[in-house]
Amino acid sequence: MNLNQASLSRLPPSVVRPAYDRSALDTGVVHFGPGAFHRAHQAWFFESLLARDPRWGICAVSLRNPDVRDALKPQDGLYTIAIRDEAISYQVIGAIRELLVAPDNPEVVLRRLCAPTTSLVTLTVTEKGYCLGADGALDLQHPDIQHDLGEPRSPVSAIGFIAEGLRRRRAAGLPPFTVISCDNLVDNGARLGRATAQFAETADRTLARWIEREVSFPRTMVDSITPATTDALKASVASALGVADRWPVQREAFVQWVIEDAFRQEAPDWQGAGVTLTNDVAGYDRAKLRLLNGAHSTLAYAGLLSGYATVAEAMKDQQLHSFVQTLMFEDILPSLTAPQGLDLRAYGESILERFRNPNMHHALAQIAMDGSQKLPFRILGTLRDALAAGRPIDRLCVPLGAWMQFVRRAAANGEPVKDPLGPALFEIGHACAGRGESDVPLFLALESVFPQDLRTDSRVVRALVAAYDRWTN
């Protein structure tokens, strides 16, 4: 038997299931990008809200492929979260009320955006889904944006859908929805707001001014380690529930959603659902990027070079564990100013505890992907602050040197590097000789990764060469 509305009553008592009448829900949220993270994170928060307020059911919209719809529609939108703590628990989520695939019928998506019940639009479309240029502004030459500018009534991009939805709501005299980016994009809400207004201005300057004046784009920070779904997960969920789930998700017990308190329109009881409202999202975001993500990348590259496959395995190596702990508290933490309500040392200790979780099989290879995009935000800002303050930089250069060695070894094995700069990195890796003195400058020539002030600083170059050479074999 498969998981669906009819089979809910047959689940074991230990499985948490929707604590409300799903048939009585309204659809108040349109979400673009219903991948694993959204379903393990934001949808879980809305699930909590729905037990008290039925207005916040989700319409999940895939911008490209139908995989999520095809998996969950036969299950009436239901799916399972496996929460992997010391003991593994299971919860069936019922918050997704509708599943749409935008290319099939963009007009249906637009009608949902314009429905009077729709109050929130949320996004997890990854950074590339925002169609931004190198300067952070909307890339008006991006193929998707070009399409949407030419055919605004049948958009293909998230920006195009949001702008057209807002245009129609304004024309109909409806209040705007609030737009909440949940992607790991620096200053995500403000950048999305500027991009949307920029798109609107190409056709209607008054609409652009209305968006700037009336529409809220709160900044956010999201956090919960969410490994990819595996066949082993599907098997364990089927065993625990007694029914098959086509696409369960898994995450650690820790979950965090920080949202800027900048709402102009009606909003849920965020705090009642466990969301943190603050006026300093940037402080939370910087702490996460540097302490959590910076340490994650360090473990990924150093762990893979040491022969480990998962975060928990790497943390069992006492030398690696000690290095990451020292890096966090002696090199990264001094670069941070704690936002109100966040104890940085306690936060750092909680991160180490999360990394040690033996039930979280978080693949280092997954974390290692897209290093050229991640490392500038996770490591280089801390490195620059340490240089300015006269603090040591040797440990901060270790993850960078390990990344370079990771690329070199992949190229030596003929393996493509999973990175937006993959072809260029493969060429660099193939040209490496295995010596920091000759190899590090090849990587430092990547201007999109290393800014001028860092790649020409002799202190940085020396530390990177030493960090690189420690992994040469």
| Domain chopping of the chain, boundaries | 8-278, 282-469
Q: How far apart are CA 68 and CA 82, in angstroms?
A: 17
Query: Hey, what CATH topology would domain 8-278 get?
Result: Rossmann fold (3.40.50)
Per-residue pLDDT of 20-60, as tens digits, reads: 999 999 999 999 999 999 999 999 999 999 999 999 999 99
| CATH number for the domain running over 282-469 | 1.10.1040.10
Residues of the chain falling short of pLDDT 70: 473
DSSP designation for 292? I
Give the pLDDT score at 447: 93
User: Any bridge partners for residue 122, and if so which?
Assistant: 31, 180
pLDDT at 185: 85
How do strand 178-181 and strand 249-252 relate by DSSP bridges?
A: unpaired
Judging by DSSP bridges, how do beta strands 79-84 and 88-93 pair with one another? Answer: antiparallel
- Return d(Cα 215, Cα 113) in angstroms, integer: 14
String of DSSP letters for 382-448: HHHHHHHHT---HHHHHHHHHHHHHHHHHHHTTPPP-STTHHHHHHHHHH--S-HHHHHHHHHT-TT
Strands of 102-177, DSSP E:
120-123
Residue 184: per-residue pLDDT: 85
Residues constituting the chain: 473
Cα gap 101→60, rounded to integer Å: 8
Long-range contact set of residues 136-142: C-beta below 8 Å, sequence gap at least 24: 136/191, 137/194, 137/195, 137/198, 138/194, 138/195, 138/198, 138/199, 140/198, 140/202
